[in-house]
Amino acid sequence: MNIVAITGMDLTVMQEQMPQDLKERCQFHWFQSSNGAEEHVAEADVIITAGRINPDLMKLASKLKWMQTLSAGVDKLPLQELAERDIPLTNARGVHTIQMSEFTLSLMLQWVRKANLLHEQKLNKIWNHEIQVGELHGKTLGIIGAGAIGEAVARKAKAFDMKVIGLNRSGEPQPSFDSTVSGEEGLNALLSQSDFIVLLLPSTAKTRGFITKEHLALMKPSALLINLARGDVIDEAALITALQEGKLAGAALDVFEQEPLPAASPLWQLDNVILTPHIAGASAHYTERVSTIFYHNLRAFLDGGEMINVVNLKEGY
């Protein structure tokens, strides 16, 4: 079994900790870029990627039987070609649950406790003990995308005595949520009731532009919008206008329509915006966690078992 990994991610742990029975049945080649990988790709049974692959490499991979991406999002991969060639794709769904749920809570606390202002005053040697800070207690959190990460966010939010509303496709009750809604009517209710709104949607044909100018107008003027999904799930221009005009109190954004975020973007200059460089899913334990998924799928692939995190190539998640 020939495995070719093409990613700048450090896969030393994945190679070194691979169970012995798998090592004995596989040849593992890791390249930090596509340079030098061509010869091995032509013989690859399995390709590991971090969410993108050079189209020219796909043409060379004539023996490819399965692709594993180390990311949860698959919107940058050639889903149609994989479907046409009947090549299964598995992703890293579930590997972000801990770090992204903690990141979400940290952003909400950063906002209500005015951490940015306090840091600024510290730099300017300003002593002001009359600053009024807020609380998470009793506030309503709306989670758009009530999957595994959303459930972890909800569970942690309940420790702060928050009310949690979740949006999913079915509207079926989910653990840790006070209520779960679906459809446009449910979305509108969630937006109008929430003090904090977290976007955790995958980027698919159905979710691009999911949050429109009209949706933004439904949010409380005091609300904080947090986007940890993908930049294209929201109308970024409309969001900027809402923030500039004070129709929305603030936003915490980890993802953007264009990344890196261009220096000319007004978002850099807005005091009511927290910006982070697409790092919500980062963790020192990331490779270890994604390796567990890969080992399971590799053993299932070799022995005819059931793989996990198999992507629906038509739906895109």
Other C-beta atoms closer than 10 Å to the C-beta of 273 total 18
Distance CA 248, CA 131 (A): 21
Pairing between strand 2-6 and 46-49?
parallel
Q: Which of 52, 278, 289, 299 is catalytic?
A: 278
81 is a catalytic site residue: no
Distance CA 106, CA 94 (A): 20
Q: Which of 29, 93, 96, 230 is catalytic?
A: 230
Reading the block at residue 2, the tokens are 């020939």
Cα–Cα–Cα angle for 276, 279, 19, nearest 5°? 175
Distance CA 142, CA 166 (A): 6
Other C-beta atoms closer than 10 Å to the C-beta of 13 total 14
Among candidates 13, 56, 10, which has minimal Cα distance to 31?
10
Residue 52: Cβ-neighbour burial (10 angstroms; 0-12, 13-18, 19+) = middle
Q: Which of 172, 259, 288, 315 is catalytic?
A: 259
Other C-beta atoms closer than 10 Å to the C-beta of 55 total 8
One-letter amino acid at 40 equals H
278 is a catalytic site residue: yes
Residues near 130 by beta carbon (within 8 Å), at least 6 away in sequence: none
DSSP string, 35-69: TTTHHHHTT-SEEEESS---HHHHHH-TT--EEEE
Catalytic residues: 230, 259, 278
